[in-house]
Amino acid sequence: MRVLVTGGAGFIGSHVVEALWARGHEAVVYDVRADAGADVRDAGAVARALVGVDAVCHQAAMVGLGDGVADAAEYVSRNDLGTAVLLAAMAEAGVRRLVLAGSMVVYGEGRYECPRHGVVRPGPRAVGDLDAGRFEPPCPVCGARLCPGLVGEDAPADPRNVYAATKLAQEHLAAAWARATGGSAVSLRYHNVYGPRMPRDTPYAGVASFFRSALARGEAPRVFEDGRQRRDFVHVRDVADANVSALEARAPDGLLTIYNTGSGDPHTVGEMARALASAHGGPEPVVTGEYRLGDVRHITADSARLRAELGWKPQVGFEEGMREFARG
């Protein structure tokens, strides 16, 4: 299979390229960093890249939270307009297989259950609560403490920043393309991806990269809130393998199929910081009590559907992956 990988020179995309070659496929890299002018918003360039291609693995995107709405136009242009241009070119070229880099950010907060009211959806956390160190979102009905759980693909979307809104829009565009063309589309909703080639010290790199960079400077990682925020840290090689599995399996025609893509082994941010510090040889993390307004408290995936339907299973355990990442 000949696969066009948009963003193929990037963090996740480069691992997808390697995974494709390792499984006997041909990968064609399309990336602004690898080829001058290779922007997914360039319809002519995209059309030329699609010649002879059997499938597309769409990793190219502007990532991060977005700075309020000031940079909304840039996010929408790169992520949504870019995706629309790509899908239109695929329709014209007769390419009918797509795997999209989705994101767990479309869910907003994770799944919570109240002892009295069952599954509830708390709103954004209040500044007063965060200032007072009350980081756990309360039940929106009675104010009781909630129990966090795993989010399934059928949970309602609740994007809470510009980036999240563009990732959800990408899925809607892919669904419309699949219905119109009879193509098969898959969105892999990545959780917290980490591993080799992860960018250092950029606003979009993720907390794991900031912690690693602090350790490399001999500084203690600074952990926000109380460090008990739950996340699902999934290794980039496992994410790349999920992409190839999705391409090989081929989803039903005319539909968008969504899969959570996480390790299935949630950890707190504090645990992750301690694992990195231990692998690096210190210094120990410092829990600051600081917070970022708009951050969610807990978001962890139920990836059972991906395992059951595609036979995918993560291979890199948390401790092993963090040891490797700390050395990178």
**pLDDT for the residue 277:** 97
**pLDDT for the residue 66:** 61
> Which of 60, 54, 63, 52 has the alpha carbon at shortest distance from 86?
60
**In which band, very low, low, confident or very high, does the pLDDT at 203 lie, cut at 50, 70 and 90?**
low
Reply yes or no on whether the pLDDT at 35 is more than 60.
Answer: no
Q: For residue 101, what are the β-bridge partners?
A: 188
The whole-number average pLDDT for the span 91-115 is 96
**pLDDT for the residue 308:** 97
**pLDDT for the residue 215:** 95
What does the domain layout of the chain look like in residue ranges? 2-110+151-327, 111-124+131-149
The whole-number average pLDDT for the span 204-217 is 86
CA torsion, ordered 300, 11, 70, 102, to nearest 10 deg: -40
Q: What are the DSSP E strand ranges found in 59-151?
A: 97-103, 111-114, 118-120, 147-149
Least confident of 179-183, 247-251, 305-309: 247-251
- Under 8 Å between Cβ of 106 and 161: no
The whole-number average pLDDT for the span 16-35 is 91
pLDDT, averaged across the chain: 94
Among 84-88, 196-200, 251-255, the range with the most confident prediction by mean pLDDT is 84-88
> Which of 45, 42, 71, 76 has the alpha carbon at shortest distance from 61?
76
**In which band, very low, low, confident or very high, does the pLDDT at 77 lie, cut at 50, 70 and 90?**
very high
Indicate the burial class of 62 (C-beta count within 10 angstroms; 0-12, 13-18, 19 or more). Answer: middle
Least confident of 12-26, 78-92, 198-212, 249-263: 198-212
CATH no. for 2-110+151-327: 3.40.50.720
pLDDT in tens, 123-141: 889 999 999 999 999 999 9
- Of 51 and 63, the one with more pLDDT: 51
Q: Which of 75, 107, 112, 163 is catalytic?
A: 163
| Residue 259 known to be catalytic | no
**In which band, very low, low, confident or very high, does the pLDDT at 65 lie, cut at 50, 70 and 90?**
low
The whole-number average pLDDT for the span 49-67 is 89
- Under 8 Å between Cβ of 212 and 283: no
